[in-house]
């Protein structure tokens, strides 16, 4: 999304805010990160690995979960 906005400024995407872009990044990075951790743990802790695959799916289904994740968890980590 940032590529399209930066490279092609003639596109009419003025209604996309920085917060929307941040939520988009979280929506992409969160499942990939959990999947990589799940793959690393799959051989030693298969139940935890399955849980790590399911958590991003639940956050994708529940409305407002990404906003909650950003507000509670990610803002707390960045303040440290």
The candidate with the shortest Cα–Cα distance to 17, out of 78, 73, 67, is 67
**Cα–Cα distance between 74 and 33 in angstroms, integer?**
14
Which parts of 1-80 are beta strand (E)?
Answer: none
Residue 79, pLDDT score: 62
Residue 78 binned pLDDT confidence (cut-offs 50, 70, 90):
low
Residue 32, pLDDT score: 92
Domain boundaries, given as residue ranges, for the chain: 18-79
Q: Is the pTM of this model over 0.75?
A: no
Q: Give tens-digit pLDDT for 34-75.
A: 999 999 999 999 999 999 999 888 888 888 887 887 777 766
**Cα–Cα distance between 54 and 36 in angstroms, integer?**
13
From residue 31, alpha-carbon distances to 53, 61, 64 in Å are 8, 13, 16
């Amino acid at each position: 999304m940032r590529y399209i906005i930066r490279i092609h400024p003639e596109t009419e995407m003025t209604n996309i805010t920085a917060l929307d872009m941040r939520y988009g990044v979280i929506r992409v990075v969160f499942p990939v990160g959990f999947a990589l951790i799940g793959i690393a743990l799959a051989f030693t802790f298969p139940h935890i690995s399955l849980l790590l695959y399911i958590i991003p799916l639940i956050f994708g289904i529940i409305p407002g979960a990404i906003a909650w994740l950003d507000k509670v968890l990610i803002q707390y980590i960045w303040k440290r």
